[in-house]
Amino acid sequence: MISNQALIDFVLAEARALDELRFDDWLNLFAEDGVYWMPLAHGQTDPKLHASLMYEDKLLLKIRVERLRGARTFSQQPRSRCHHLLQQPGVESRDDAAGVYTTRTAFHYVETRLDEQTLYAGWATHTLAAGNDGLRIKLKRVDLVNCDAAFGSIQLFM
């Protein structure tokens, strides 16, 4: 059985991997059918019937990571950096029989490049699945407080 503390530690470790720009380690936290979703509207329930800021499966996440590392990705010269400030994650639901768990974490996230610094705030909901290789992200949903605002380019992952 997975403890609540193990679920919390997983979410904290995921944010640290992003803050340290360890994108390969971060990608390895996703299940093969894992999805990263950032809704465009409050209360959005379906990413396929409505537009989203991001809705990417693992293949698209890999492509984005490769782009971030690319020598010809001029928007990343110099590279963007980020910092997550997380409230303690809460365990919202657990199904030990199925090995599926949901956490919710309020956050402030700062993304910076050159002289520009952008602050985002919201909630991250992780649906995690336990398997032979440990916990993996089935769904990471990032709900921004101002999801319906006009944004510049979001370069990294929240």
Which residue type occupies 126? H
Q: Where are the domains of the chain?
A: 4-144
Of the candidate CATH numbers 2.60.40.10, 3.10.450.50, 3.30.70.3270, 3.20.20.140, the domain formed by 4-144 belongs to 3.10.450.50
Residue range 124-142, pLDDT digits in tens = 999 999 999 999 999 999 9
Token digits of residue 98: 């199925």
Residue range 19-72, pLDDT digits in tens = 999 999 999 999 999 999 999 999 999 999 999 999 999 999 999 898 888 767
pLDDT tier, 1 (very low <50, low <70, confident <90, very high otherwise):
confident
Long-range CB pairs of 51-54 (<8 Å, 24+ gap) are 53/144, 53/147, 53/151, 53/154, 54/142, 54/154
Residue range 69-104, pLDDT digits in tens = 876 766 667 788 899 999 999 999 999 999 999 999
Would you say the pTM of this structure is higher than 0.95? no
Q: Are 147 and 155 in contact (CB under 8 A)?
A: no
